[in-house]
Amino acid sequence: MNEDDVGLTAEDVDAGSYEHYVDAELYDYEYRRRRDDVRFYRAQADEFLGDSGNVLEIACGSGRITTALLRAGHTVVGLDISQQMLSRAAARIAKLGRASRKRGMLLRADMRRFALGRKFPLIVMAFNSFEHLYTRTEVEVFLDNVRAHLEPGGRFIFDLQNPDLRWLCRSPHRRWAKTKFKHPTSKEPYIYTTNHDYDPISQIVVIRLYYQRCADIGMPGAPEQVVKLSQRKFFPAELEALLSANGFRVDTRYGDFEGDPLQADSENQVLVCSATR
């Protein structure tokens, strides 16, 4: 077995890299209350760039961070591999004022392999997107690419989850997080549940998100949509070592978006990094 082998099937991991991002409207509905990271990245951009500056946002998704940075006066290149996410981001940007719209550019590209031919004083990657780098090789290629696009003295800022072993070791045979909601498109009531499989060797978890109409619950053979989300978990010391080995220094590390220090029970790891070579 080499470093690129994983305990879960390659099909599971691949499906989990994109299925969660196909329904952009449902995605935005599920994360509609997530605002702390938006405020954090805007504050970081203002601190490092002043009133205006150039930002590369990797894995920009549906544009939550992108539009906030554009409103703040920054020029943003947003990069993502999902056309559905980019279309949603474009719709968000289209609602901004003319000056803000002109400062935004969206590109479809794989975050593991892109070449823009320019450098940026600030590169950001939000909402656990780093966890879509599933092997050490992918991490190394990605960080090398980030460094190639970072201006001297620039910053690379990103966040990801702080692994919770109790959650990772939950039974994959039970359903968790049962939630009733109204689907944003059909307006029908649905039930949402999850479970997951975790491979401690590859440190990859494949989460299954189950969606079923309330009207279908209890009916034999009733349809249920299953969406996969795969994430690689990075432990704090491991992550710092990977960054150091690939030419980055961790300048600041937080445990949340309020600036609190990273602790054992922190949900997030939020890192501000500089290139060392």
pLDDT averaged over consecutive 10-residue blocks of the chain (277 residues)? Answer: 58 97 97 97 98 98 98 98 98 98 98 96 98 98 98 98 97 96 96 97 97 92 94 98 98 98 98 97
Domain membership flag for residue 207: yes
Does the residue 5 lie in any domain? no
- Asked if the structure places residue 144 within a domain, the reply is yes
Answer for the pair 28, 47: CB distance below 8 angstroms, yes or no: no
176 in the same domain as 156: no
pTM reported for the whole predicted model: 0.95
Q: Does 9 reside within a domain?
A: no
For residue 181, tell me if it sits in a domain: yes
Any domain includes 4: no
Note the pLDDT of residue 218.
87
- Looking at 197, 214, 232, the residue that finishes a domain is 232
Question: Are 239 and 228 found together in one domain?
Answer: no
Q: Are 135 and 255 in a shared domain?
A: yes
264 in the same domain as 198:
no
Q: Are residues 143 and 72 in the same domain?
A: yes
Judge if 117 and 239 occupy the same domain.
Answer: yes
The per-residue b/e assignment along 201-210, b for 16 or more CB within 10 angstroms, e otherwise, is ebbbbbbbbb
Helix, strand or coil, per DSSP, at residue 229: strand
The pLDDT assigned to 7 comes to 54
CATH of the domain at 155: 3.40.50.150
Does residue 263 share a domain with residue 225?
no
Identify whether the C-beta of residue 111 lies closer than 8 Å to the C-beta of residue 79: yes
- Whether residue 126 is found in the same domain as residue 223: no
179 and 60 in a common domain:
no
Domain count, the chain: 2
Residue 159 in any domain: the answer is yes
**Distance between CA atoms of 125 and 56, rounded to whole angstroms?**
9
Q: Let me know: does 94 contact 101? Beta carbons within 8 Å.
A: yes
Assess contact for 89 and 59: CB atoms under 8 A: no
Same domain for 173 and 48: no
The dihedral through the CA atoms of 100, 115, 134, 160 has a sign that is negative
Asked if residue 215 and residue 126 are part of one domain, the reply reads: no
Position 8 scores a pLDDT of 83
Q: Are residues 126 and 63 in the same domain?
A: yes
61: left (phi over 0), alpha (psi -120 to 50) or beta: left
DSSP string, 24-82: HHHHHHHTTT--HHHHHHHHHHHHHHTT--EEEEET-TTSHHHHHHHHTT-EEEEEES-
Q: Domain range spanning residue 198? A: 165-232
Question: What is the spatial distance between Cα 194 and Cα 231, in angstroms, rounded to a whole number?
Answer: 14
In a domain, 271, yes or no: yes
